[in-house]
Amino acid sequence: MAYEFRSSINKTCCKAAVYPKDHWGSFHPHQCNLKIWKDGWCKIHHPDIEHERHQKREEESKKWLENSPSMKLIRAKERIDKLVGAMLTLADGCEAAEADCKEEVIRSFLGRCADALRNAAKEGGEE
Ligand SMILES: [Zn+2]
């Protein structure tokens, strides 16, 4: 957010206070010397434009973060946790099964594990 330049303002220029990058002036604000675009601000310092720029930058950094290796790792870990959780639930059911239907239960357990693995592999391959 640009600050308004307060002292001896030139009404034909943008009212933003800017800090020149040169060595000595860096702590002394100057008035922006660009011409007024709207509401006394130039196209760079108008609050609407600054807000828009800020949003855009935030979106870009969000996108960047989502595609970053650490986020991919986090998502992969989430998938693995889900998978392990599902398998443990199945394994519990398998253990609790009656002796005479155990083989059937184990077979279906293995089938569902294979499905879960296939699905996980598919999800992981989307990126
Ligand atoms: Zn300006």
Report d(CA 61, CA 7) in Å as an integer: 36
Count: domains in the chain? 2
Q: Please identify, among 65, 100, 115, the residue that sits at the C-terminal boundary of a domain.
A: 65
Residues 15 and 61 in one domain: yes
| 124: confidence class by pLDDT, cuts 50, 70, 90 | low
Same domain, 48 and 76: no
Q: For all residues of the chain together, what is the average pLDDT?
A: 85
Give the per-residue pLDDT at 74: 94
What does the pLDDT average to over 67-83? 91
β-strand pairing of 3-4 with 16-18 = antiparallel
Tell me the per-residue pLDDT of 32-63, one tens digit each, with 9 for 90 and over. Answer: 999 999 999 999 999 999 999 999 999 999 99
Output DSSP code: residue 17: E
76 and 110 housed in the same domain: yes
Q: How far is the CA of 45 from the centre of ligand 1 (A)?
A: 5
53 and 7 fall within a common domain: yes
Q: Which residues are CB-neighbours of 72 under 8 A, at least 6 positions away?
A: 127
- pTM for the model: 0.51
Domain with 90 in it: 69-124
- Residues 12 and 42 both lie in one domain: yes
Q: How far apart are CA 43 and CA 55, in angstroms?
A: 16
Q: What CA–CA distance (Å, rounded) separates 88 from 8? A: 73
Q: How many angstroms separate the alpha carbon of residue 17 from the centre of ligand 1? A: 8
